[in-house]
A and B are shown apart, each in its own frame.
Chain A
């Protein structure tokens, strides 16, 4: 889908993209969104709980109209495949803009272990500032998010805390970034230099003439 704002093609193509998967929601409870943006179809509007123990709707409250980063993680996987410390450096580089111009979300793949309380402790340990939320929720809701964002599950027995098989902590090295209002999405490796990460956000509209300037 390539949609120009004013062209004949509606920006809703991406919204429709995952409609065929509606039957695969399983137990997940998707709340109809009030106002779908151009990439709403990628982001199931499921209820999640933040590390600050708030209840949020994933799409409506966290994604719509925003520039965001999204990564799948778990407190235990972060021991063997650490990414959070590097993302925390990125947050510090971005200063007070996180929570205002850009939002960061880390979604656990290990909800049995990663309760809101544990996630809060984990966030505090990493010096996480407001604007970055760690998210957990019903396993069925989390699974639906993983499916839509192509996060691989750990294969049985492979994603363990100790041992060399940590490499199969699937998808924990990958961070999605993008701008929902532009349906512009890409990925960066979680552990590259923070400067290389932060430079990317202008590509999806953070302070960038790519968006504001007319040709």
Chain B
């Protein structure tokens, strides 16, 4: 529990001045008295790190279309006939008992098909997918979370009715059909995503429902990113694949002494846990061969920011940002990951010998749910450990020097500029001074156009990872400076992290579908406390 000691120590040294000197009166938040951070007052039970093997979520199994009863209704979907599904899935949200760690009793948990993370979809561009999502959660549920759900595939190019709009929820016993057309935005191959995740998006209850376990991975392959490191196709990248392509879902969780996850539903700052979980087990270990691996790292939240390091000082080779393959691999000593951000990285363990152990560490200090302090701790918290074992076969994987070009930014397409200020008012997290009301359209954008959106954090004391649904954006300026090639943010993205007073200018396009979409803070506690807008795509 070194991490907690470090936090306590630093808290004693700096915690007071950190708040007092936080800036203008306007920017300050006055926390309720008598509410010290949960993870100090009520730490989780002690558990032994690195004794649980990393679980890998199973791959979702498609079903026969004829088994769907009732059959899909194409009239409920945009462009269904044009992109008829070739893979069909039926997924059931269920409550179950989950073992986070063998030294704790099983915890009541929610998950897709009764597991968390849910099954990993393997999809291919050009092969549309149909998912029928059933809510089989207990209607008489008592506790945090609501047994009423809406599923967002973050950040697929999805028609509004399949996007998990916060008010498109289903209650126990009901289902909702999602049609994923699996074509890239604007039919531009440079707009393809590779690593996506799906999670609940229920109005007012996203944070507890996600924390309860409603998350999973959705991976999309194509001829280049083919998922086969031995692929004879000359255009295939041959990235590490199969057992060497590993999704890692990070959540920090707080437990009570009975081993049950606890969640303070009234804390509007954000929720921190003191247990680092990967794929929903506490501090696992993972046996690796001395060869290359692809890890798809996802910060699942709810409110924790990470800066990840390898204990040996080895850099990461970053190949994607928010699921978007970069123009070229970027070597990075650390990975900054706010909530909902994801990176695919290559780690080459060939420099190690069997018996070596490498720890994936978080060294970013965060004392409350509002955001990180920015301080890098000397002593990292061990998220998981890689244990090197013997090589079992040849490593035929490669990391190409050139990956996926960025689609061009054409400013002549821009028809409108909008500014969105993220702030705090009267206990609410606001956008342009207003709290979310999903019946109100905050912006109408015209299909087929482009816009420039400027996002500004008005707070001195908090951070917001802002997520925009539908199409990936590119950053034109961050604090009035362009992003240079070689920066991992020189990329398409769908989450942008606004630290105190940060301002970012984004290039956005709106193609192919109509309907209701949203932008929100992906600190899901902020989202649930009103930091969300609705924007609609309307005919030009």
Q: Which of B32, B144, B173, B435 contacts A215 (CB 8 A)?
A: B173
Specify which chain A residues have a CB less than 8 angstroms from the CB of B268 in the assembled complex: 150, 174, 187
**CB contact under 8 A between A11 and B204, given known A152-B29, A189-B428:** no
Specify which chain B residues have a CB less than 8 angstroms from the CB of A2 in the assembled complex: 95, 107-110, 141, 143-145, 212, 260-261
Q: Which of B95, B144, B428 contacts A173 (CB 8 A)?
A: B428
Q: Which of B276-284, B412-420, B437-445 contacts A (4 or more CB under 8 A)?
A: B437-445
Bound-complex Cα distance A186 to B31 (A): 19
Specify which chain B residues have a CB less than 8 angstroms from the CB of A20 in the assembled complex: 41-42
A147 and B426 contacting across the interface, CB-CB below 8 Å: no
Within 8 A of B (CB), among A143-163: 143-144, 146-155, 158
Specify which chain B residues have a CB less than 8 angstroms from the CB of A212 in the assembled complex: 139
The prevalent SS among residues of B at the interface is loop
Decide yes or no whether A200 CB sits under 8 A from chain B.
yes
Q: C-beta contact mask, B22-50 vs A, less than 8 Å → 1, else 0?
A: 00011011111111000001100000000
B426 and A183 contacting across the interface, CB-CB below 8 Å: no
**CB contact under 8 A between A147 and B34, given known A17-B262, A171-B427, A193-B439:** yes
Bound-complex Cα distance A111 to B265 (A): 26
B426 and A11 contacting across the interface, CB-CB below 8 Å: no
B139 and A210 contacting across the interface, CB-CB below 8 Å: yes
Bound-complex Cα distance A3 to B140 (A): 10
Q: Which of A9, A11, A149, A196 contacts B438 (CB 8 A)?
A: A196
**CB contact under 8 A between A147 and B35, given known A2-B144, A192-B435:** yes
Decide yes or no whether B146 CB sits under 8 A from chain A.
yes
Specify which chain A residues have a CB less than 8 angstroms from the CB of B31 in the assembled complex: 152
How many Å from the CB of B524 to the closest CB on chain A?
12
Residue of A nearest to B269 (CB): A150
Specify which chain B residues have a CB less than 8 angstroms from the CB of A150 in the assembled complex: 32, 35, 264, 266-269
Task: Give chain B's interface residue range (CB within 8 Å of chain A).
Answer: 35 or more
A170 and B173 contacting across the interface, CB-CB below 8 Å: no
Residue of B nearest to A155 (CB): B30
Bound-complex Cα distance A153 to B32 (A): 6
Decide yes or no whether A42 CB sits under 8 A from chain B.
yes
Specify which chain B residues have a CB less than 8 angstroms from the CB of A81 in the assembled complex: 426
A174 and B204 contacting across the interface, CB-CB below 8 Å: no
Specify which chain A residues have a CB less than 8 angstroms from the CB of B262 in the assembled complex: 1, 13, 17
Decide yes or no whether A54 CB sits under 8 A from chain B.
no
A170 and B204 contacting across the interface, CB-CB below 8 Å: no
Decide yes or no whether A68 CB sits under 8 A from chain B.
no
A1 and B35 contacting across the interface, CB-CB below 8 Å: no
Residue of B nearest to A176 (CB): B266
A195 and B439 contacting across the interface, CB-CB below 8 Å: yes
Residue of B nearest to A77 (CB): B426
Give the residue among B26, B265, B440 with the most A Cβ atoms within 10 A: B265
Task: Give chain A's interface residue range (CB within 8 Å of chain B).
Answer: 35 or more
Residue of A nearest to B98 (CB): A2
Decide yes or no whether B91 CB sits under 8 A from chain A.
no
Decide yes or no whether B529 CB sits under 8 A from chain A.
yes
Specify which chain B residues have a CB less than 8 angstroms from the CB of A196 in the assembled complex: 437-439
B25 and A5 contacting across the interface, CB-CB below 8 Å: no
Specify which chain A residues have a CB less than 8 angstroms from the CB of B30 in the assembled complex: 152-155, 168, 170
Residue of B nearest to A190 (CB): B426
Bound-complex Cα distance A116 to B117 (A): 52
Specify which chain B residues have a CB less than 8 angstroms from the CB of A5 in the assembled complex: 138, 140-142
Decide yes or no whether A185 CB sits under 8 A from chain B.
yes
A203 and B426 contacting across the interface, CB-CB below 8 Å: no
**CB contact under 8 A between A173 and B426, given known A14-B143, A182-B142:** yes
B139 and A214 contacting across the interface, CB-CB below 8 Å: yes
Specify which chain A residues have a CB less than 8 angstroms from the CB of B137 in the assembled complex: 215
How many Å from the CB of A129 to the closest CB on chain B?
25
Decide yes or no whether A112 CB sits under 8 A from chain B.
no
Within 8 A of B (CB), among A185-209: 185-193, 195-196, 200, 203-204, 208-209
Q: Which of A4, A188, A191, A208 contacts B95 (CB 8 A)?
A: A4
B32 and A155 contacting across the interface, CB-CB below 8 Å: no
Decide yes or no whether B136 CB sits under 8 A from chain A.
yes
A13 and B143 contacting across the interface, CB-CB below 8 Å: yes
How many Å from the CB of B107 to the closest CB on chain A?
8
Residues of B participating in the A interface, judged by any CB pair closer than 8 Å: 25-26, 28-35, 41-42, 95, 97, 107-110, 136-148, 171-173, 204-205, 212, 256, 258, 260-269, 425-428, 435-440, 528-530
Given contacts A183-B143, A184-B141, 4 further A-B contacts (CB under 8 A): A1-B256, A174-B427, A181-B142, A192-B437
